[in-house]
């Protein structure tokens, strides 16, 4: 994986802005620690940081390919998992290749098929291509939005990059946040509305979208979306098809010229990928698979089971590591490290995020990077197969809002009266929810429970899953680790989308059809284990530390968050034992401690990024 950035400007001499390009590119060094490149020609300035995974000796970017006098230039972040097939087809069509890297395959695909090339790609990607023939830049993002792409456009100038920090180095992009951006932070966050960059001048190219920037202006369009149709196959056939798809997807994603590992939590999703990966490694003679897990000092003493986190992972991790014979690495963090990580993870994301859930992943990936460059993760299976509690609890299904954000009244009460009146957070949330529901590709004749679950699935795939994919991308790439997410293969997602809810619940269990597909791959006790989310710390020292942190911020008259929040309401929550420890307000993992940590992240972000509120 890599970091990409650049700008396109139809007037002026861009060579005078070379230092701006250098600064923009340098901000992405953690994403691509292995190589650096910039290119300025005509209206284009492209920058690239490379993390070498395939063909490390070649594939430097920006990559230039000439077709007679015509020039095509690319900066690209991602992996094409069907590069070998595409290359064979392009060779038959008379093209020649200088490297073995997928970057060249992607660029030559564009030369052959133009913008329609993206329909042929299986992978995760964000890229920009300068086309001298058409005098345009073609940009696209993968179908599920695994790889990020931010942009800012003003008249004849387009600035883009993998992360907001790169764009903010350009003098025409300011760190200003308006009422809509504040609503995103305080009522939607740490999620984001698709396309929202939070910063007033920055937007995000939505998943499954492409755009063309020419002298005529900017044209953005959707090239892929979920398609609703009747599922014709029976349960046995569906399970077999799922297993075949998952195995094919995983084996494509194990291809690498650098060490690969898997993240193993002992749950269904990661255990399945690890088991299939071990089978593949054994079959191809690639040796012993490395696996990694994360836990926290004191969790063995402090963990308490509840509806969203029914059991500890540690015994199941040991069970699967022994069962599969992996070379397992146990990573553990203590409270001081988690507190320190709150600042690092905010800088890595360029926004306040999932508090210690972000920070611990950042630390986890940093440790993994010492032994591997590529990791395989079970991210997204719950959104696709319906694993979260809100798929199964009537009060959450019928909440009339995003089920991971049901504490909206409490969150709105944290704002100062002036900011609440300006941002109108509850109205903003309702509008964003209504927009999402209107987007759902409905199936003719479908109603009742099945229609309700189609809406719920769509909300999860397009609104909640991107939050976790953002987190996974930023925290991993922040330390130069590439994480691959096989459950996000678009073929798999599209297939599962149309499986009837009753079949998804085969055996009366959440993700029942996935469990059936994996029979014989996993031991039964693991296969039918109750879902448990990504682990977080349960140490009371963490609550004490973040509570002190936010109270210190409130006591400091220079804290930039003070005019934005209802200080007395936050203090009230802090002194309430029940509210401060058990106050679910976002998703499964974010309760009282994460609320204090999130507010501290907001303050740190406002201060560090010199945010202007306008």
Catalytic, 117? Answer: no
Distance (Å) of CA 588 to CA 154, 270, 307, 512, 583: 39, 18, 9, 21, 11
β-pairing verdict for 290-296 and 260-263? parallel
Q: How many residues appear in the chain?
A: 614
Other Cβ atoms closer than 10 A to 493: 19
**Does residue 11 have a cis peptide bond before it, meaning omega lies within 30 degrees of 0?**
no
What secondary structure letter does DSSP report for 564? G
What is the C-alpha to C-alpha distance for residues 569 and 109, in angstroms, rounded to an integer? 56
* Residue of 2, 44, 101, 261 marked active site: 2
Distance (Å) of CA 292 to CA 42, 303, 364: 47, 21, 9
CB 352 within 8 A of CB 598: yes
Distance (Å) of CA 114 to CA 110, 136, 593: 4, 11, 50
Paired residues of 13 in beta bridges: none
Question: Which tokens is 275 given?
Answer: 């088991």
Four-CA torsion 519, 525, 531, 535, nearest 10 degrees: -120
What is the C-alpha to C-alpha distance for residues 356 and 184, in angstroms, rounded to an integer? 20
Q: Which residue has the tokens 């029976």?
A: 234
What secondary structure letter does DSSP report for 531? P
The full 3-state SS of 122-158, as one line of letters, equals CEEEEEEEEECCCCEEEEEECCCCCCCCEEEEECCEE
Distance (Å) of CA 596 to CA 258, 465, 522, 548: 40, 24, 39, 9
CB 110 within 8 A of CB 138: yes
What is the C-alpha to C-alpha distance for residues 137 and 211, in angstroms, rounded to an integer? 8
In what helix (H) or strand (E) does residue 573 lie, and over which residues does it extend? helix 567-575
In what helix (H) or strand (E) does residue 608 lie, and over which residues does it extend? helix 592-608
In what helix (H) or strand (E) does residue 63 lie, and over which residues does it extend? strand 63-67
Q: Which residue has the tokens 């031991």?
A: 523
Q: Which alpha helices (DSSP H) does 326-460 contain, by range?
A: 335-349, 355-368, 381-385, 394-397, 408-413, 417-423, 425-439, 448-459
What amino acid positions are annotated as catalytic residues?
2
């Amino acid at each position: 994986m890599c970091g990409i950035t650049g700008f396109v400007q139809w007037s002026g001499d861009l060579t005078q802005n070379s230092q701006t390009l250098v600064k923009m590119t340098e901000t992405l060094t953690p994403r691509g620690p292995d190589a650096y490149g910039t290119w300025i020609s005509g209206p284009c300035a492209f920058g690239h940081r490379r993390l070498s995974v395939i063909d490390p000796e070649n594939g430097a970017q920006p990559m230039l390919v000439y077709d007679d006098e015509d020039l095509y230039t690319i900066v690209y972040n991602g992996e094409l998992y069907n590069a070998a097939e595409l290359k064979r087809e392009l060779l038959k069509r008379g093209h020649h290749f200088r490297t073995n890297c997928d970057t060249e395959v992607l660029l030559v695909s564009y030369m052959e098929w133009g913008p329609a090339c993206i329909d042929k790609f299986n992978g995760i990607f964000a890229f920009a291509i300068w086309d001298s023939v058409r005098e345009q830049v073609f940009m696209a993002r993968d179908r599920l939005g695994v790889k990020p792409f931010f942009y800012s456009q003003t008249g004849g100038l387009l600035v883009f990059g993998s992360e907001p920090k790169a764009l903010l180095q350009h003098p025409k992009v300011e760190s200003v946040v308006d009422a809509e951006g504040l609503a995103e932070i305080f009522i939607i966050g740490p999620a984001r509305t698709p396309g929202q960059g939070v910063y007033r001048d920055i937007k995000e190219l939505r998943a499954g979208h492409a755009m063309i920037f020419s002298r005529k202006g900017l044209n953005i369009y959707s090239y892929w979306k979920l398609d609703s149709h009747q599922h014709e196959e029976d349960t046995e056939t569906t399970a077999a098809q799922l297993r075949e798809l998952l195995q094919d997807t995983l084996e494509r994603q194990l291809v690498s010229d650098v060490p690969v590992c898997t993240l193993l939590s002992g749950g269904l999703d990661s255990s399945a990928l690890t088991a299939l990966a071990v089978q593949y490694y054994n079959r191809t003679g690639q040796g012993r698979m490395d696996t990694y897990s994360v836990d926290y000092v004191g969790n063995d003493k402090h963990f308490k089971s509840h509806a969203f986190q029914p059991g500890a992972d540690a015994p199941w991790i040991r069970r699967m590591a022994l069962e599969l014979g992996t070379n397992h690495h146990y990573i553990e963090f203590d409270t001081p490290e988690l507190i320190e990580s709150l600042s690092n993870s905010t800088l890595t994301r360029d926004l306040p995020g999932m508090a210690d859930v972000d920070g611990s992943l950042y630390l986890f990936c940093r440790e993994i990077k010492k032994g591997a460059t590529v990791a395989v993760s079970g991210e997204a299976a719950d959104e696709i197969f319906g694993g979260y509690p809100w798929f199964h609890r009537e009060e959450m299904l019928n909440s009339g809002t995003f089920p991971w954000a049901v504490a909206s009244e409490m969150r709105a009460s944290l704002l100062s009266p002036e900011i609440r009146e300006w941002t109108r957070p509850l109205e903003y949330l309702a509008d964003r929810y209504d927009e999402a529901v209107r987007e759902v590709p409905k199936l003719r004749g479908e109603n009742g429970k099945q229609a309700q679950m189609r809406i719920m699935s769509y909300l999860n795939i397009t609104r909640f899953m991107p939050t976790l994919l953002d987190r996974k991308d930023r925290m991993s790439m922040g330390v130069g680790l590439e994480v691959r997410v096989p459950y996000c293969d678009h073929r798999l997602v599209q297939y599962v989308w149309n499986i009837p809810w009753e079949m998804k619940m085969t055996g009366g269990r959440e993700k029942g059809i996935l469990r059936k597909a994996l029979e014989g791959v996993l031991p039964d006790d693991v296969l039918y284990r109750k879902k448990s989310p990504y682990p977080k710390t349960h140490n009371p020292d963490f609550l004490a530390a973040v509570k002190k942190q936010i109270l210190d911020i409130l006591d400091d008259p220079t804290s930039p968050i003070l005019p934005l929040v209802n200080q007395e309401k936050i203090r009230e929550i802090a002194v309430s034992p029940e509210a401060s420890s058990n106050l679910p307000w976002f998703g499964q993992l974010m309760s009282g401690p994460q609320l204090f940590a999130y507010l501290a992240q907001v303050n740190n972000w406002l201060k560090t990024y010199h945010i202007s509120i306008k």
